[in-house]
Chains A and B, each alone.
Chain A
């Protein structure tokens, strides 16, 4: 069964460092998302991406964040200069438009 895959599963970084989280969405999907879950809190929407551009972003998704789909299969989230409060589980999701999102297993980011 097709699935969304994310790498790395866990990344530890120093504050101020750049981080790139990678996702391979399901191949025929058209809409791509990043969500974040800070430990003990609810899952929050960060950004949605369609037709090679951001379609919607939350207030969390500031200038430190960027997304791109560089090669038609990968979908990446970049955090330019990480802060302690960026420590969270980051989930990638995709859908072909039915409304049902398929989530990856997440990338845990720890900022020290």
Chain B
């Protein structure tokens, strides 16, 4: 069965600093990969997705993520964090074949931004 690991439960960065949120996955092939953001009391907003092709994908709000097959990783990055980026971030995997059509989420990383 597939799984997603987000090793950092909480991360605190200063406004203006760079950010990297880690995501590792376990799956027998290359899956579809997603990053979602959830602000307090809000729903899940898609930041970006990787289906195939270019391993560096750009998303909304200045975020990008890099797929590394050799490391089974899909880390999320932002060069300069804004206070409004404080939220919880979820990495998710969708199997291409054999795993049904359900997303498997990681446990999330709570981002705190210090002013």
Residues of A within 8 A of B (CB): 31, 33, 35, 41-45, 48, 50, 55-56, 58, 91, 99-106
Contact A48 B49 (CB under 8 A): no
Instruction: Determine chain A's interface SS by DSSP, over half rule.
Output: strand
Contact A103 B108 (CB under 8 A): no
Residues of B within 8 A of A (CB): 32, 34, 36, 42-46, 49, 51, 90, 92, 94, 100-108
Q: Which residues of chain B come closer than 8 Å to A99, judged between CB atoms?
A: 32, 49, 51, 94, 101
A91-B43, A99-B94 given; A44·B105 CB < 8 A: yes
In the complex, A44→B34 CA distance in Å?
Answer: 15
For the complex with contacts A45-B102, A45-B103, 17 further pairs of A-B residues with Cβ separation under 8 Å are A33-B102, A42-B106, A42-B107, A42-B108, A43-B90, A43-B103, A43-B105, A45-B104, A55-B100, A55-B101, A99-B49, A99-B101, A101-B46, A103-B43, A103-B44, A103-B46, A106-B43
